Structure 1
Amino acid sequence: MELVNVLESEKVHYNSLPDDFKDSFHCNRQRDVVPACVVHPLTPGDVSAAVKTISKHNCHFAIKSGGHAMFEGASNADGGITIDLKHLDTLELSVDGQTARVGPGQRWGRVYEFFEEKGKVVVGGRVSNVGVGGFLLGGGISFLGRKYGWASDNVRNYEVVLANGSISNVNYESHPDLYWALRGGAGNFGIVTAFDLEAYELGPVWGGNNIHVLSDPLARRTTLGIQRPFSFSLRYLIQSLCQLGIQVATLLGRSTTSTAMIEALEDMILNEKGDESYFQYFLAFSYFQTPGVVAANVLHVHSAQPAPSSKPLAMLDLQAIGKPAYSTSSVRSLRSMVQEFDPYNVPGFRFIFHEITLRFNATVFQQIFDLFLEEIEAVKDLPGMFPTIVMQPISEIVRVGNNKNGGNPFGFSDDDGPICVLSICPQWNRAEDDEAVKASVARLSEMTMVLLEKEGLLHRWVYPNYASEVQDVFAGYGEENRGKMKKIQRKYDPEGVFDRLQPGYFKV
């Protein structure tokens, strides 16, 4: 009850949760967690008071920005104290228009809307309801990554509540060691109450989603020995009709193959240095349960200058594989790209994100695609099941941005070459299916890593924002950088408040 005395009763909720608290989490796995207390600070001073009280009584806690993490306890403390930063929602633009102050309680949709009205943009998330805090502290892959680097590399200053309750402005000049650690260090060093971001001018972009019908999964399943027996069911009839539809689409030149898509992605990665007009792209394969088909989605974002008719190099090979079944590519605002991405990220389901970093090779990724097809069979009939794998290149241009203002702890080197982030990210409905889905992801991950290790293509790095709870994120930063981060943590948190008392998220 001391928190009530320290913070005032309207900021502290004991035993009964605020009405909108549960639904503010993206993933139902997080919604299942019930904290004993929720704190809603209104100021950095409130956060300071909460940290001092938590430290004094050795209470376990979690920090919530947008609540978009995908596993239990990541930003919600089971039986403990959840510090919900939603009211720390500052949005300000400096007088000179160069710096944007953004509170951790903001979500990216509102951030883009606010700064777009002022003719500015910041490097941020790609989904409207993703929170600012966790995204920026985990590095941040953005639509503007190839132009400006990681989102975290565009933070000029952090306003941070440290373990002793002090409030500090942390930047390259004031605290270069802590500034370095915060750029990818998650919540291990303090609670950020405001981010000062680089603000840029940005006109329209050319981009959108391009969905391609794949004609080869059925044949590939047959080659893999996967058989789906005949059934007198409506689903079997629908799936049979959909296969007939794919054959018609193929005759009309409106389908492609997984092989063509994968080879096109490889060409894009190899050609990326020759095209400075594009900002980001990725390739996703998803299984649609009712029709029983696998489709491919290519999302791309380019500068609208030069005009799209000039056919940017990075899109040439994808254009050569045939017209997509559905395309939204157009000249538009960056905010509209984020809004378009929202229907692919609907809250209120159960999710797993599991990340593997690799050096891309089309032949090997074709084998990974076949492993994905095999693993679909184990979970395809679970209610609401939506298996997906996503391949996102992390270009050399993005990694070079790591040197900005002292760099960050990710530990990339000039010898890494083009690398990619592979996300295994299924979605499903029921809690009773959790273990089956986790086992499926574990099998696919293990087989993929064994294959990549064998081919010499596995990279040690793990992207924090797409990692699952079973992954050791900071081991991927390299032994030297992890050791440096531990030393910095001991310096600013000698009592281990953020290590001992915050058990739910990744630990240095």
Structure 2
Amino acid sequence: MRCRHALWHALSLYSFLPHVFAGNNTLAQDPITSLCVEIAHSISSAGQVFFPGDPSYDAGIFHFAVSSTQQSKCVVEPGTPEDVGKILVILGRTRTPFAVKGGGHATNVGFSSTLGVHIAMSRFSEVNYNSSSQTADVGAGLVWDDVYAALEPFGVNVVGGRVTGIGVAGFTLGGGYSWKSNQFGLAVDNVIAFELVLPNGRITTVTEKSDPSLFFGLKGGENNFGIVTKFKLKTFPQTEVWGGSIDFLGSNLDAINNATIAFQAVTDPKAAIIASYGSTPALPEPLVNVLMFYDAPNPPPGIFDAFLAIPSLDSNIGTRSFLSLVQSAPSNSLQGLRSVYQGFPILSFTAGIAEVIVNETLFWGERLLNQSLFDISYSVEIFLPSVYSHNSAKTAYPPVRNIGFQPFNIACAWNSSEFDSVFHDAVVASSAHIHNAAIAQGQTGLTRSPIYPNYAVSGTPLADMYGSNLPALRALKARVDPENVMGLAGGWKF
């Protein structure tokens, strides 16, 4: 089988080469395209290079948000860590812009896309469960749906994404808030080891003992220190769960606000919600979607009763597998649109903050209606104040663990590239307004509360995400990547 694959790889490359080097073909004059051919020659038969016009190229550059997709010169799918090392050496030597894509859920343009060489990690797709160590080795090219499906037969799970289609790598390297975070912390709190390809091409396994400062930096420091090919994660027993998605019309806003505010008094770590206040041209009034989760087949009486008593427009609440619950979330309805996120921390969801968020939903929904708006939503994510207490060691994110801030998020979706800057500016202005209103209402601890990197819109100052950790992260970056190879890729750069 390997021989057949190698032969097909060679024939595919051979069939492309005449088109690259033929006479006056413009591809022959393009140095990055020629570099793609050099990479194809250099990597093993386990990897492959694709060019525009190939369906695998289209799959490689695909992003959940169409605004995050760029037309690279080629897509490289490395098949081994050694392939990744060779690619990084070539890119660093030639100072070629590149991108690294796991699941493709980033909404900032250029964070996992490029006009240069696009590295798609899709071939790093193994999930190996070790029952004796209670760990799972998870490939960096997977989405969490794949991981949950692979672990389900063993009756175990990991701390991963809450909705369908989220990539393992970006989620974990940025921090990672999960349905299981109240019980076990963030994704970064549950990584035991990283298989990392350093910017100089060397492959290493990073643990707390092998390199404490690099271990710290990888836990929330995004793609600054190389390319992670595999994560070793803690696993936990997993039964069926209860929950799903429920939609309410804005005519019930008072009841929804009261139920969400009251939910903050729930101390059961198995319970969690996300309440998203939205506006869409398809409806004449606001729409509120609530995702509910309980980490057992049925919740104790009382935890979700206030929500369930409100008349709903639609609901799929029930007992199901963890994977089924994750896939019940309606996030795919926005796939193929242009999109932007912006995070803003909140200490407590109060009646005053609820009023501000509802007003922001209505104000921006109306103001952006003629700018090809499809949807705008404000997601209220409720975690226990103890969510950051599950790790005594420092991590790049969050930079503070003694403040129980909540990682709220604004999400916009629209149709036309003509209005990209309009929506970017809108989420920046709206998040600032909510932040300032919260401080004015007494939430002064927000001045030390960080923005979640995976929600932060492009242009967010690094200090707003990494706080007092920033000097240590910059020193680590200088040690690990003195030639700034990873600076050739997009993302938050130290």
In structure 1, C-alpha distance between the alignment counterparts of 2:313 and 2:333, rounded to whole Å: 21
Indicate conservation of the 8 Å contact 1:461/1:473, yes or no: no
Corresponding residue for residue 16 of structure 2: none
Indicate conservation of the 8 Å contact 2:244/2:316, yes or no: yes
| Equivalent in 42, 47, 51 of residue 6 of structure 1 | 42
> What is the SS of the residue equivalent to 2:157?
coil
Change (3 A) 1:77 1:265: same
Matches within 5 A, 1:346-385: 346-360=334-348, 361-383=350-372, 385=374
Q: What's the offset of the Cα at 1:7? A: 1.8
In structure 2, C-alpha distance between the alignment counterparts of 1:409 and 1:373, rounded to whole Å: 32
TM-score, normalised relative to structure 2: 0.86
Q: What's the offset of the Cα at 1:75? A: 0.5
Corresponding residue for residue 434 of structure 2: 448
In structure 1, C-alpha distance between the alignment counterparts of 2:294 and 2:397, rounded to whole Å: 28
Corresponding residue for residue 242 of structure 1: none
Corresponding letter in the other structure for 2:461: D
| Equivalent in 30, 33, 52 of residue 68 of structure 2 | 30
Corresponding residue for residue 315 of structure 2: 327
Matches within 5 A, 1:54-133: 54-78=91-115, 80-96=116-132, 98-133=134-169
Corresponding residue for residue 220 of structure 1: none
| Equivalent in 279, 286, 305 of residue 287 of structure 1 | 279
Query: 1:204-232: CA deviations, max 9, x gaps?
Result: 111122222221xxxxxxxxxxxxxxxxx
Say whether 1:268 aligns with 2:246.
no
Q: What's the offset of the Cα at 1:169? A: 0.6
Corresponding residue for residue 393 of structure 1: 382
Query: 1:298-330: CA deviations, max 9, x gaps?
Result: 21111326x43x3144x244356x343333221
Indicate conservation of the 8 Å contact 2:334/2:413, yes or no: no
In structure 2, C-alpha distance between the alignment counterparts of 1:319 and 1:95, rounded to whole Å: 38
Corresponding residue for residue 170 of structure 1: 206
Corresponding letter in the other structure for 1:358: I
Q: What's the offset of the Cα at 1:81? A: 1.4
Corresponding residue for residue 402 of structure 1: 391
> What is the SS of the residue equivalent to 1:424?
strand
Q: What's the offset of the Cα at 1:277? A: 3.6
Corresponding residue for residue 249 of structure 1: none
In structure 1, C-alpha distance between the alignment counterparts of 2:171 and 2:334, rounded to whole Å: 17
Change (3 A) 1:338 1:505: same
Corresponding letter in the other structure for 1:334: F
Say whether 1:298 aligns with 2:290.
yes
Identity, % of aligned positions = 28
CA-based RMSD of the aligned residues comes to: 2.2
Q: What's the offset of the Cα at 1:68? A: 0.9
Q: What's the offset of the Cα at 1:25? A: 1.3
Which structure has the higher relative contact order (CA within 8 Å, separation 6+)? 1
In structure 1, C-alpha distance between the alignment counterparts of 2:420 and 2:395, rounded to whole Å: 38
Query: 1:415-459: CA deviations, max 9, x gaps?
Result: x24x22221101112222323323332332332233234334335
Indicate conservation of the 8 Å contact 1:156/1:197, yes or no: yes
> What is the SS of the residue equivalent to 1:129?
coil
Corresponding residue for residue 311 of structure 1: 301
In structure 1, C-alpha distance between the alignment counterparts of 2:184 and 2:225, rounded to whole Å: 25
Corresponding letter in the other structure for 2:266: E
Corresponding residue for residue 196 of structure 1: 232
Matches within 5 A, 1:212-227: 212-215=248-251
Stretches of structure 1 lacking an aligned partner (at least 5 in a row)? 216-255
Q: What's the offset of the Cα at 1:399? A: 0.8
Q: What's the offset of the Cα at 1:91? A: 1.4
Q: What's the offset of the Cα at 1:474? A: 4.6
Corresponding residue for residue 410 of structure 2: 424
Corresponding letter in the other structure for 2:250: L
Stretches of structure 2 lacking an aligned partner (at least 5 in a row)? 1-34
In structure 2, C-alpha distance between the alignment counterparts of 1:8 and 1:133, rounded to whole Å: 23
Indicate conservation of the 8 Å contact 1:29/1:70, yes or no: yes
Corresponding residue for residue 467 of structure 1: 456
Tell me which moved more, 160-169 or 443-452: 443-452
Q: What's the offset of the Cα at 1:472? A: 2.2
TM-score, normalised relative to structure 1: 0.83
Say whether 1:338 aligns with 2:326.
yes
Say whether 1:48 aligns with 2:43.
no
Q: What's the offset of the Cα at 1:138? A: 0.7
